[in-house]
Chains A and B, each alone.
Chain A
Amino acid sequence: MKKLLTAIITAGIVALSASPVWSADADDYMTNSGGVESLRGQVEISTINKSESLKQVPRDQKLIDRNYVQQPPMIPHTTRGYQVNLNANKCLSCHSFKNAGEMGATKISVTHYETRDGMTLSDVSPRRYFCLQCHVTQADAKPLVGNTFQPVDSLR
């Protein structure tokens, strides 16, 4: 009796695990990405990536060349703790026309005084007030996707 039971169970296990239908089913059930490959590669949506360590922004670096003519220049230094809000704008405390000379910083462009409909104001236009909307700090990070963009000849 005992022997028979063991035999049946063993046969059952072998049959089930060997069956191609069963294992395909199981795979389908386990894979919830629908077979789509994403930036993360072929992984299930429910798996959690190992988190990358945070990239450090260098305190000060060389000016970063522009890639196209209208590109907002990138910020070559850290901006941690710099307040830009209704009360204060730390960026302008160095980059405004008034302060740039003394602080040895780059002046903001005159386009920053223009309103949407081309009127030139006496101070920075509200639409240009939040500097970090267009200008960003740069860390030394590998691009996630390839890019074949080439700057125009004059900028190369």
Chain B
Amino acid sequence: MLKRLKRLWVVMKSPSSASMGFILLLGFTGGIIFWGGFNTGMEATNTEEFCAGCHAPIVKEIRETIHYSNRSGVRAICSDCHVPHNWTDKIVRKVQASKELVAFAMGTISTDEKFQARRGHLADREWQRMKGNDSQECRNCHQFDFMDFSEQGARSVKQHSTALASGEKTCVDCHKGIAHQLPNMEGIEGW
């Protein structure tokens, strides 16, 4: 390892590659600037106002739910549940979200009627995604290991200590419609 580093240093020091050190430095600073701008962009696209631009009906609905107003005053915003925290997953989701731009251009949910008709399909995609990652977004805030069963209601404990603890089911299997009006649930498992 040390040997390899030494060899690298020799290469960098040699006159023929003086410019290479420079290039690296340039790349490094450029990277920082790019990184900052990139992250700012990522942050800006995480705000509720941004989502509201295309999902106005949903933003209105959420006001009645526990994740908008509750006794502790902690809120979950759109991106808490829909954008993964883990960096690579986040990028993947953002790139996937570019698809939404195409759908937006096509106007798949541009009117209330169109949205209601397509809602079941979109909700199902979200459920499948969360089933796939074991409801990672929920677990970012609600960690099973720190749930105090003596504080939870009897019905909560009954389900959490069995089906959830054993990993047989994940949060969205039981908690559908926790933040939104549900689509037609006919034929959905458990309904």
Residues of A within 8 A of B (CB): 59-60, 77-78, 80-81, 83, 85-90, 92-93, 99, 103-105
Contact = CB atoms under 8 A, between A and B. Distances in A.
Contact of A88 (B64, B153, B177): B177
17 contacts: A59-B153, A60-B156, A77-B153, A77-B155, A81-B64, A81-B66, A83-B177, A83-B181, A87-B183, A87-B185, A88-B184, A88-B185, A92-B191, A93-B190, A99-B190, A104-B155, A105-B155
B45 interface: no
Interface in B145-189: 153-156, 158-159, 177-178, 181-185
B151 to A, nearest CB: 10
Nearest to A103: B159
Interface string B127-161: 00000000000000000000000000111101100
A105 B158 CA distance: 11
Majority secondary structure of chain A interface residues (helix, strand, loop or mixed): loop
Given A80-B66, A93-B191, A60 B153 contact: yes
Contacts of A99: 190
Majority secondary structure of chain B interface residues (helix, strand, loop or mixed): loop
B191 A88 contact: yes
B181 A87 contact: yes
Contacts of B191: 88-89, 92-93
A39 to B, nearest CB: 31
A60 B155 contact: yes
A99 to B, nearest CB: 7
Given A87-B182, A93-B190, A99-B190, A60 B154 contact: yes
A99 B191 CA distance: 8
B17 interface: no
B40 interface: no
B47 interface: no
B65 interface: yes
A29 B156 CA distance: 58
Given A80-B66, A92-B191, 20 more contacts: A60-B153, A60-B154, A77-B155, A81-B64, A81-B66, A81-B178, A83-B181, A83-B182, A86-B184, A87-B182, A87-B184, A87-B185, A88-B177, A88-B184, A89-B191, A90-B177, A93-B191, A99-B190, A104-B155, A105-B155
A88 B183 CA distance: 7
B66 A88 contact: no
A86 B177 CA distance: 14
Q: Which 4 A-B pairs have the closest CB atoms?
A: A60-B153, A59-B153, A88-B182, A88-B185
B113 to A, nearest CB: 15
Given A90-B177, A93-B190, A104 B158 contact: yes
